Copies of this chain bind each other. A is one copy, B any other.
Amino acid sequence: MGDMIHFPQEEPDFQAALSTSMVVFGFDGVDLKILLAKSTRPPFEGALFLPSRYLKANEELLLSAKKMFNDLFGYDNPSMVEQLRAFGQVFRHPGGRVVNIAHYALVNTDDFRTEEWEHHGMHWVPVNEVPDLAFDHNDIVDYARERLKRRVRRRPVGFDLLPKEFTLGQLQNLYEKAMRKTFDKRNFRKKLFKSKLLVDLEKKSDGSGYGQHKGSQLFSFNDEAYSIMTLKGYDFVF
């Protein structure tokens, strides 16, 4: 009652801990997946959860998430790590209050340092097959999927997810998985071509890329158009 107006004078309660979890969306050419960790030691052996860490009291929120991204993937991805929001309701740690500042990122699954992390139980799981996770991490995943859906609608997203050279089948497949609906092939192509986002590489896939049909046309993104549309946004209405 009236507490808040004393804000600058009032004393904060320095007893909470901060953690950050990351929903890493990865595309392998066919499926949209997220990265999960599995605890391999007691007392939480077998528990699945999002890649997470506790923050030191002096760590920046976003920088900490980007550092975690770099640990996992070995490179920086300045644009595609974003905060989702704070989750503080469900997780109760016996030692006290923990608030989780969740983030998400988009990658191509090939970029994951599999060999370095797999013995820690890190692995990809298709977004439609995410099992029960520890803490409130299922809520975080759900929230991230909604955010991704909205993002796909307003900005191009393929650049970080697809291989450098991709087919229209892969692109449509990615959009359908992210937006959880199907599109008419002809209308999808028409819209993409009109957007000037795609560069026709004038060669055909040899079928070696996962999810690529041999003989289908290869494309890459027009960096300039992609940047502009990332900044200005657009409407991908279907």
Copies of this chain present in the complex amount to: 2
Q: Do residues A12 and B122 form an inter-chain contact, with CB atoms below 8 A?
A: no
Return chain B residues, CB-CB under 8 Å to A121.
5
Given A83-B85, A86-B61, A88-B60, CB of A54 within 8 Å of CB of B7: yes
Contact with B along A52-83 (1 / 0, CB 8 A): 11111110111000001001000000000001
B5, B12, B62: the one within 8 Å of A95 (CB): B12
Q: Do residues A95 and B61 form an inter-chain contact, with CB atoms below 8 A?
A: no
**Cα distance A1–B18 in the bound complex, in angstroms:** 18
**Cα distance A178–B11 in the bound complex, in angstroms:** 35
Q: Do residues A8 and B44 form an inter-chain contact, with CB atoms below 8 A?
A: yes
Return chain B residues, CB-CB under 8 Å to A47.
8
B4, B53, B89, B98: the one within 8 Å of A4 (CB): B53
Q: A101 on the interface (CB 8 Å rule)?
A: yes
**Cα distance A13–B44 in the bound complex, in angstroms:** 19
Return chain B residues, CB-CB under 8 Å to A61.
86, 88-89, 99
Q: Do residues A14 and B13 form an inter-chain contact, with CB atoms below 8 A?
A: no
Q: A237 on the interface (CB 8 Å rule)?
A: yes
Given A85-B84, A86-B86, CB of A95 within 8 Å of CB of B11: yes
Return chain B residues, CB-CB under 8 Å to A114.
none
Q: Do residues A54 and B12 form an inter-chain contact, with CB atoms below 8 A?
A: yes
Return chain B residues, CB-CB under 8 Å to A16.
14, 16-18, 55, 57
Return chain B residues, CB-CB under 8 Å to A41.
9
Q: Given known contacts A10-B54, A14-B97, what 12 new A-B pairs fall within 8 Å (CB)?
A: A3-B71, A5-B120, A7-B51, A7-B53, A8-B134, A12-B19, A14-B96, A16-B17, A18-B88, A83-B85, A86-B86, A235-B237
